[in-house]
Structures are given as C-alpha cells and as structure tokens.
Amino acid sequence: MTTPASADPQLDPQLVSRIDEVLSRIDAAAARAGRDGADITVLLATKLRTPEQIAPAVDLLRSRGRLLAVGENRAQEMAKHKDPLLAGNGVPRHFIGRLQTNKARDVVAFGELIHSVDRDDIAEALERRAEMAGLHRDVLVQVNTSGEESKGGYDPTPDSVIPVVQRLRGSQVLRPVGLMTIGANTSDDAAVRASLRSLRELREEVRDRLGLDDFEQLSMGMSGDLEIAVEEGATIVRVGSAIFGPRPA
C-alpha cells in the first residue's frame, strides 16, 4: 500500500501555516503566564473531518514536538479511527461531545480520556460499561461556567461538583483527573476570562478539599479563546476550525 499524498505534511502549506499559527498563539499566551507552551496538550477537535484530513495534522503536531490528542464529538465518529491512516499512529483518542447513556459502550471502547461527564446517569453508564469491558478510563467532569442554557455541565460550585468527583473516585474503573468547560460564547473577553478562571478555581478547591494529587487537568479553550484559556491555566486546548478551517456544515 502506498501512502496517500495527503498524509505528507509538505504538500499542504495551508495546514502547516494554520498549525504554526495556533502553536505560536499558545506559546505567546503561555509565555505571558510564565508557562511552557509545550506542556499544553493540543487536542484536535475533528468533528466530521476525514482520516485523510486528520492524519497530516497529527503528523505535523508530532513533528513540532507537541503533546496531542484527537477528540471526537460523536460516538459514531470514533469508529473512523479504525481507518488505516489513524489506527496505527498511537495518538490518544478522547471524547469531547454530549454523552448519551445508550452510547456509553462505544465511548468507553475508544475514549482514553472522556471530557464530558455532565450528569450522574452518564457517570453511572460509563462505569457500568467500563466494568463490562474490563477497561480503565480517565474522565473529566464538565462544568457549565457560562450559565448558557444550551451548554451541558454541572453548576460551577464545589457543592455541585464534589459529589460526582467522589462518586467517580469510588469507582474501580473510572478516574476523575480534572474539569472541562466550554467558555462563554461572547466577544466580551472579560466574560470569557471569568468563566475560564472559575474552572481553575473550582479545580483547586475540589483538589484541596478532597486531597487529590492527580486532579489537575483543565480542558478549556477553543479556536476563538485559546489565549485566554492558556493564560488561565488550561492543560488541554480543544482546537478545530483554527487548524482545519471553517467547520463543515
């Protein structure tokens, strides 16, 4: 089998320049916060992109020495990673979408880190499916830091988040390693910053109150707000359109 031309990063200068632009935005924001951009995982939010589009982006981020992951929104999309272009490349696969209990089995099968535990029945379904499959999975608790009704997640208070973290801690198969949010959908940077900062403060409070050393991930920041997220402590930024171009319809 020959390697398809699209797997050669040399051949898509637009992809190279988009990725380098994203990396320099991350690095500049990290420098302002006294952090190292190379410590921040770049998660490719792939939506409906094809393996032919995803594989060269993975190769490029690797060649730039970045921590990376590929994140899917839909359980069905995770199946595309059986494609030969992606199957053997060893990139961690995450799940970032709205979870449904009837898809928990598929998500557990593929998602090494599940970002979007946003309800108690989802935590239960994932636990049951991980037990049945004999798999251990890391998970993040999704928090609604913007107050926007369209967004899932627990309320941004310790009283809301601590019980689910404790519940997950009690599981033999799921390990809660941090929090995830989708920032406020507004051009008001101060509002975005406030929502992202509240996630960091919440993580610190949960970690300290429960004495958890390994509760440190903050999945926050997308194409439009990744600088603010990095300044506010993001450990994983989830980037789609800034790398792949405008979202497919």
Closest approach, Cβ 230 to ligand PLP, in A, equals 14
**Least distance between ligand PLP and beta carbon 1 (Å):** 31
Least distance (Å) between residue 180 CB and ligand PLP? 8
Least distance (Å) from ligand PLP to the CB of residue 8?
24
Smaller CB separation from ligand PLP, 62 or 98: 98
Rg (CA), the chain: 18
Residues making contact with ligand PLP (CB under 6 A):
45, 47, 73, 96, 182, 222-224, 238-242, 247
Query: Which residue is nearest to ligand PLP, using beta carbons?
Result: 240
Query: Residue 111: how many CB atoms within 10 A of its CB?
Result: 26
Of residues 4 and 245, the one with the C-beta less far from ligand PLP: 245
Judged by beta carbon, residue 93 or residue 128, the one nearer ligand PLP is 93
Residue nearer to ligand PLP on the CB measure, 47 or 207: 47
